Chains A and B, each alone.
Chain A
Amino acid sequence: MTTQSAAGMPAPMRFTVDSWDPAYGSSLEFEDDLSESTARVIVGAEVPEDQWRPIPAAPATSGPSALLFVDGVRRIEARVWIDGSPPSPTDPGASAAMCASYAAGVLCCCAAGAHLLTTQTRRGLFTIAPHAADVVTSTGTYRASKTSPSPAVSLPMTLSAALQRRLGDLELATAVAARGGLNGHAGPPESDLLVIDGPLRGRQHLPRAIGFIKSHRTSYLPPPLHAMVAALADGERTPVFLMGTSWDRHAWYLRLPCPPGAPWSGIVRIECSADLPRADVITLASMSQATLCRYASTEYKDPRAPQNLYPIAGLERELRRRLGDPRLLYRALRSAAVA
């Protein structure tokens, strides 16, 4: 196949598609705090440590006019090998790369119901090969996205992180676009709340935005407070605390309504910007209690219940559908490689 080089010169890039199962690796979770067990935590952001108690949901404050759920999905379509070009003694072999599809979208829950606002779908070739070019197939073009290798991180991890960054960018762009396109369809401007599935990192600057973290690998709170999380009743939250890893944010734990089970079942962590005034943070925290619980899923419908909120599950399904049929995409990649 032929592709366009940056200079506009036709430059052949030869590649082959690995016959591995493309499903492999697609389940890699990219919680940002994989290696962040050493977080700085300031527990007294809302109340002093000795006054930490479960906080019940405040009686109905006027909630947001619309909840905008933001999510993204990614799927690795194939691992490819890009031939060295030009072949040289220093670059003798082929370079491993990956072709992936990703999509981001925003779902609005407002008086009009739960409806999709916007979605964006992309395909990318993630590689460290400097001469990599776009991969054009009959089912779409995988835009070359070049990353520098890092000696400390494995290549698959590097590529995967690059993909995750692109997805994050796309989520951000989609969220901003969706908000811009609301045109007050759900109440007065600035009365909405953005709920981002996953950490808020990179998006702290968005107004009225919270991050929604479903799974917990690390305990950030000191042991007695940590134990209190397990004691939260349905709809209760912990006081707000400040936490800093590679980035800073406010956070609190919330228990979504669910049948009694494991100590941390139904617990989610919610984040908002570290820069917000204390009052605004507390408003967001009680708003999260008042609004999110009604979206909690039930276990017979969703194995990730209740944390996998219905709107997010629905949005994810819509986005996955938009990625296209993986078998078709894989086949197209293979024939593009042969061509």
Chain B
Amino acid sequence: MTDQLNALGPAAARPLAAQITARERQPAGDAVDSQPAGAATGPPAPGGVTAVGRVLGTEDATPLMFSVALNQDAYLQLDDVVVTVRAVPGVGPVMTAGVVTQVRARHEGASFGSDVFLISEGVLPAHVQEIAEVTTTRVEPECYVPPRPGELARRATGIERAQALYFDDMDHKVPVGLGRDGSPMYVNLDFIDGTRGAHVSISGISGVATKTSFALFLLHSIFRSGVLGARAVNAKALIFSVKGEDLLFLDHANKRLDDDLRDKYARLGLPAEPFASAGFFAPPLPGDLSGRPHVAGRTGGVTAFWWTLAEFCSRELLPYVFADAEDDRNQYTMVVHQVAARLRRDAGPAGTDGAVVIDGDTVRTYDEMVDLIVDKLSDEATRPDWAGPVTGLGTINAFIRRLRSSLRALRTVIRGDLPDAPGREISTGNQQVTVVDLHNLPERAQRFVVGVVLAAETARKEAAGPGSLLFTMIDELNKYAPREGSSPIKDVLLDVAERGRSLGIILIGAQQTASEVERRIVANSSIKIVGRLDPAEAARPEYGFLAASQRARATLAKPGAMFVSQPEIPVPLAVEFPFPAWATRLSESVPPPPAAVSRPAGDVFSRLPRPTDKPDPADDDIPPF
């Protein structure tokens, strides 16, 4: 451990050592002459860094938490990074570094609330003392002794800041925003990409917590900071969008991009550019038989997606129709599986549009499919075959009611009446970022789509083996993986949460309230992020990783301000991430040159960002897949 300290090089070693030798002894109380009224002003700390104060002695200093009394001419604010060094006999200098988690000021010499008036009238003397509470992030070398009261404390910059926040130890740093000091903050990629941990959970109030925006920024950072190296070529993102058409413009530059914003991206080492390689999927326009996508703002480059009835039958997609909380409480799960198996066995192709023939009947629409299933279950002759031999009528009728109620939700995305189009199947193969716009679909259909697509991607990744990364962003995760109950979709998500690390599927989940999301998913997320929180929510144990003051602050967080927690750093980092460089709505959009608007089918490669490193030929998943 001492070696580690030495390894910091002379720049760090000098201030540490020098400070200890130059540490002045307090005179021992005798004839303490002409003190300038207790108004401490900062002695220049050795090594050129000005101390901001001294470790406080009227409260316990502990290895994990201590306070700093600040010089009159200095200040510390929340999130500032502070270091102090003390000598430990036989060990040498021990540096304790931490993050300011609370700052307070008070009148010393005043005992009544009303004294403040006397003080400001110049009648009563008092001294304003500011005290910063520091939560330790790192002790180096690892000798857990408390900082000594009276030791100088200073703001950590440069290598000391990096050390305090473990950035010096990170081989793969993902910039996640700027700290209060204007310098970049990082997350260790090892805890995102599955090396040592995976998955990201983002919580906060809708509309102000900037969850979706941050998730996209994180993807931008992962893809474009260079942290993935050669892996960037094959890294993909699959985004389910549920809120308006916000994400349908992320390949367009943002009109609001100005020099100030460009500078923020530059400080983070990121290009201030939109996503260069993006594909967009939306459900078909209801009532339209030509297979146009149901979108309003964006005119080109969006592909309609649907599943054919043939796929519905052959892939046994029926269970994903029964993925609501109420389905979990019912007895008809057996019927669902029985019917799904029946469909797989009995359905044969009809025509080229994905329609099917079952027992001689041609089925072209979801409505017809539901009717057929109802008929089969109502007819005593076919019922045992379709529902299973011992199923009671009550259960069957419950199933029928639930099936019928799915008509409105699913008739647009399960089709046998649209001319099959080559790109209609949602796939991450042809672009780096795939956006699936669900906002025009009812919740039941949203669940169906997410469940089916995720299950397919998981199976595909499983077959391909590890090696490439797929980031899956799910907004309102609580709707798909609620804390209570079970459903086929929740099973897929749990599978991703638990095995995704080895499969290379990284879940980026966003939710208003982490307390409503399945515990095992939250627990499996190595990176926990919160934006603005509802006060009642902030008090829940799910946010126990936040320092007490951070919980309070999270209820006030402005858009763009997030607390980022990662396993290595004991205190979540407060960051501000820059406003999107890509358009988040039509009005912000600077459309790209017309040639690039529609997705050229054969020219996928040219639209992928060019990483500096050559792709490793051993990587799987070389596009197009």
Give chain A's interface residues, CB within 8 Å of chain B: 107, 109-123, 138-141, 143, 177, 294-295, 301, 310-311, 313-315, 317-318, 322, 324, 329
Q: Mark B58-85, 1 if CB is under 8 A from A, else 0.
A: 0000000000000000000000000000
> In the complex, A141 Cα to B123 Cα: how many Å?
35
- Option from B28, B29, B34, B123 in Cβ contact (under 8 Å) with A118: B34
Q: How far is the CB of B568 from chain A (nearest CB, A)?
A: 42
User: Is B37 a contact of A115 with CB atoms below 8 Å?
Assistant: yes
In the bound complex, residues from chain B placing their C-beta under 8 Å from that of A120 are 31-34
User: Is B125 a contact of A315 with CB atoms below 8 Å?
Assistant: yes
User: Is A141 a contact of B119 with CB atoms below 8 Å?
Assistant: no
In the bound complex, residues from chain B placing their C-beta under 8 Å from that of A138 are 28
> In the complex, A20 Cα to B37 Cα: how many Å?
34
> In the complex, A120 Cα to B28 Cα: how many Å?
14
**A114-B126, A115-B37, A317-B109 known; A322-B120 Cβ under 8 A:** no
Q: Mark B32-53, 1 if CB is under 8 A from A, else 0.
A: 1111111000000000000000
- Option from A123, A311, A322 in Cβ contact (under 8 Å) with B125: A311
B459 interfacial by beta-carbon distance below 8 Å: no
> In the complex, A142 Cα to B67 Cα: how many Å?
33
> In the complex, A116 Cα to B126 Cα: how many Å?
9
Most buried by A among B36, B37, B112, B115: B37
> In the complex, A140 Cα to B26 Cα: how many Å?
11
User: Is B29 a contact of A139 with CB atoms below 8 Å?
Assistant: yes
In the bound complex, residues from chain A placing their C-beta under 8 Å from that of B32 are 120-121, 322
User: Is B33 a contact of A117 with CB atoms below 8 Å?
Assistant: no
Residue of A nearest to B122 (CB): A113
B266 interfacial by beta-carbon distance below 8 Å: no
User: Is A318 a contact of B28 with CB atoms below 8 Å?
Assistant: no
Most buried by A among B29, B33, B109, B118: B29
User: Is B123 a contact of A122 with CB atoms below 8 Å?
Assistant: no
- Option from A109, A116, A301, A324 in Cβ contact (under 8 Å) with B38: A116
B603 interfacial by beta-carbon distance below 8 Å: no
In the bound complex, residues from chain A placing their C-beta under 8 Å from that of B35 are 118-119, 322
| 12 interchain pairs, CB-CB under 8 A | A114-B119, A118-B34, A120-B31, A121-B29, A138-B28, A140-B30, A294-B123, A295-B123, A314-B124, A317-B109, A318-B109, A322-B35
Residue of B nearest to A138 (CB): B28
In the bound complex, residues from chain B placing their C-beta under 8 Å from that of A123 are 29-31
The total number of A-B Cβ pairs within 8 Å is: 80
- Option from A110, A177, A311 in Cβ contact (under 8 Å) with B124: A311
User: Is A113 a contact of B119 with CB atoms below 8 Å?
Assistant: yes
A-B pairs with the 3 shortest C-beta distances? A116-B37, A140-B30, A140-B29
- Option from B28, B120, B121, B126 in Cβ contact (under 8 Å) with A314: B126
Further pairs besides A111-B122, A318-B38: 8, Cβ < 8 Å: A107-B125, A114-B124, A138-B28, A139-B29, A140-B30, A294-B123, A310-B118, A322-B32
In the bound complex, residues from chain B placing their C-beta under 8 Å from that of A301 are 111-112, 115
**A118-B37, A121-B29, A314-B109 known; A109-B122 Cβ under 8 A:** yes
Residue of B nearest to A294 (CB): B123
Residue of A nearest to B29 (CB): A140
Residue of A nearest to B111 (CB): A301
In the bound complex, residues from chain A placing their C-beta under 8 Å from that of B115 are 301
User: Is A141 a contact of B124 with CB atoms below 8 Å?
Assistant: no
> In the complex, A111 Cα to B123 Cα: how many Å?
10
> In the complex, A119 Cα to B127 Cα: how many Å?
15
In the bound complex, residues from chain A placing their C-beta under 8 Å from that of B34 are 118-120, 177
In the bound complex, residues from chain B placing their C-beta under 8 Å from that of A141 are 28, 30-31
> In the complex, A114 Cα to B35 Cα: how many Å?
16
Q: How far is the CB of A335 from chain B (nearest CB, A)?
A: 14
User: Is A114 a contact of B29 with CB atoms below 8 Å?
Assistant: no
User: Is B123 a contact of A109 with CB atoms below 8 Å?
Assistant: yes
In the bound complex, residues from chain A placing their C-beta under 8 Å from that of B109 are 314, 317-318
**A317-B109, A318-B38, A318-B109 known; A112-B122 Cβ under 8 A:** yes
> In the complex, A138 Cα to B34 Cα: how many Å?
21
User: Is B29 a contact of A311 with CB atoms below 8 Å?
Assistant: no
User: Is B122 a contact of A119 with CB atoms below 8 Å?
Assistant: no
> In the complex, A111 Cα to B126 Cα: how many Å?
15
- Option from B31, B112, B120, B122 in Cβ contact (under 8 Å) with A110: B122
> In the complex, A139 Cα to B33 Cα: how many Å?
15
Q: Mark B391-411, 1 if CB is under 8 A from A, else 0.
A: 000000000000000000000
In the bound complex, residues from chain B placing their C-beta under 8 Å from that of A109 are 122-123
Residue of A nearest to B123 (CB): A310
In the bound complex, residues from chain B placing their C-beta under 8 Å from that of A317 are 109
Most buried by B among A122, A315, A318: A318
> In the complex, A322 Cα to B109 Cα: how many Å?
13
Residue of A nearest to B112 (CB): A301
User: Is B125 a contact of A314 with CB atoms below 8 Å?
Assistant: yes
Q: How far is the CB of B471 from chain A (nearest CB, A)?
A: 58
In the bound complex, residues from chain B placing their C-beta under 8 Å from that of A119 are 34-35, 37
In the bound complex, residues from chain A placing their C-beta under 8 Å from that of B123 are 109, 114, 294-295, 310-311
User: Is A310 a contact of B124 with CB atoms below 8 Å?
Assistant: yes
Residue of B nearest to A117 (CB): B37
**A107-B125, A114-B124, A314-B126 known; A122-B119 Cβ under 8 A:** no
In the bound complex, residues from chain B placing their C-beta under 8 Å from that of A113 are 119-120, 122, 125
